[in-house]
Amino acid sequence: MENKSLVSITDYSKEKILYMIDMAQHFEADPNRKLLDGKVIATLFFEPSTRTRLSFETAANRLGARVIGFSDPKATSSSKGETLKDTILMVSSYADVIVMRHYLEGAARFASEVAPVPIVNAGDGANQHPSQTMLDLYSIYKTQGTLENLNIFLVGDLKYGRTVHSLLMAMRHFHPTFHFIAPEEMKMPEEYKLYCRQNQIRYVEHTDFTEEIIAEADILYMTRVQRERFTDLMEYERVKNVYILKKKMLENTRPNLRILHPLPRVNEIAYDVDDSPKAYYFQQARNGLYARQAILCDVLGLRMEDIL
């Protein structure tokens, strides 16, 4: 049987991305459909989450599936030393799909190689977060009317931020120009800049975050400095307040600009920005429900004709 897992956004072609956006639009029009009646979805979260876990669980519930899983690995037998392989094999005999977040890069790929059921990567370390990328792409498409030829500014923790890594790779099909705004300690890693060069993706790097620099942005993608990924907490203290978006910085931005953030935010977007019509991060999180309904249906082999 074809492995329908979603481990990396690079598993999706351009056509597949556009197809998944189309499917998400159908779910936004009508999210309550009993398409997965009788299915069981397992959500295994080895790291904390609010949006990803709850939106996957809501997606499953609205599609008529039932949900099992855990949000605290300390309450599972992994705390007694059970390996990830054994955990995945066990849960595979209970559930039809496993949605997993893990702190180790590559954990989702490993799980997909041992599991007889599809794995959906809900974030693996600083590596990939493909379902977040699908909701980001859906949000960009909804707000810009296209994915083509956009100026996308990625701001903050570009070193550890898996959402920006996944987004960058997905956009290779759509001729973007990226602007990477980060301090030296959190710059976009060389491997992703190499990926840009190999895929003819234009990019510019900045260390300043000013009104002038963001004036040409179509999408301003803010990110949190990820305290949990720093091995040196002094370094985290040095960079944690480095960029804060304030409402007055938006005065000369493009009318079509939308501000995205995968959330949670800490202090990198001031609260006065929330009232701006350019703030889109809460709608973005809502779009996650529809994008994840599409993902669950797809990994379970449902096609567009099945959902229409």
Selected catalytic residue, list 62, 129, 159, 162: 129
Give strand pairing partners of 220: 153, 259
The piece of 140-148, 174-182, 194-202, 256-264 that touches ligand CP (CB under 6 A) is: 256-264
187 is catalytic: no
* Tokens encoding 197: 């060069």
Which residues lie closer than 8 Å to 233 by C-beta, 6 or more apart?
Answer: 227
Judged by CB under 6 A, which of 7, 27, 51, 183 binds ligand CP? 51
Confirm or reject binding of residue 25 to ligand CP (CB under 6 A): no
Peptide bond into 264 cis (omega under 30): yes
Confirm or reject binding of residue 36 to ligand CP (CB under 6 A): no
The piece of 46-54, 69-77, 240-248, 291-299 that touches ligand CP (CB under 6 A) is: 46-54
Q: Taking a C-beta distance cutoff of 8 angstroms, is the pair 144, 218 a contact?
A: yes
206 is catalytic: no
Judged by CB under 6 A, which of 214, 263, 297, 300 binds ligand CP? 263
51 is catalytic: yes
Which sign, positive or negative, has the C-alpha torsion 270, 282, 22, 290? Answer: positive
58 is catalytic: no
Judged by CB under 6 A, which of 10, 32, 50, 210 binds ligand CP? 50
DSSP state of 226: -
Q: Which residues of 244-269 are buried (b: 16+ CB within 10 A; e: fewer)?
A: ebebebbeebeeebbbbbbbebeebb
Confirm or reject binding of residue 52 to ligand CP (CB under 6 A): yes
Whole-angstrom Cα distance, residue 269 to residue 207? 17
Closest to ligand CP by CB, 107 vs 201, is 107
Closest to ligand CP by CB, 179 vs 261, is 261
Roughly how many angstroms between the first and final C-alpha of the chain, as a whole number? 25
Closest to ligand CP by CB, 131 vs 253, is 131
**Amino acid identity at 177:** T
Judged by CB under 6 A, which of 92, 121, 132, 133 binds ligand CP? 132
Q: Where are the beta strands (DSSP E) in the chain?
A: 40-45, 66-70, 97-102, 119-124, 151-155, 177-181, 202-206, 219-222, 258-260
In whole angstroms, how far apart are CA 46 and each of 53, 87, 275?
11, 12, 34
Whole-angstrom Cα distance, residue 256 to residue 254? 5
Least Å from the CB of residue 224 to ligand CP = 9
Least Å from the CB of residue 269 to ligand CP = 14
193 is catalytic: no
Confirm or reject binding of residue 49 to ligand CP (CB under 6 A): yes
Least Å from the CB of residue 35 to ligand CP = 24
The interface mask with ligand CP, positions 141-180, x = CB under 6 A, is ----------------------------------------
- Catalytic sites, residue numbers: 51-52, 80, 101, 129
Q: Which residues bind ligand CP (CB under 6 A)?
A: 49-52, 123, 132, 262-264
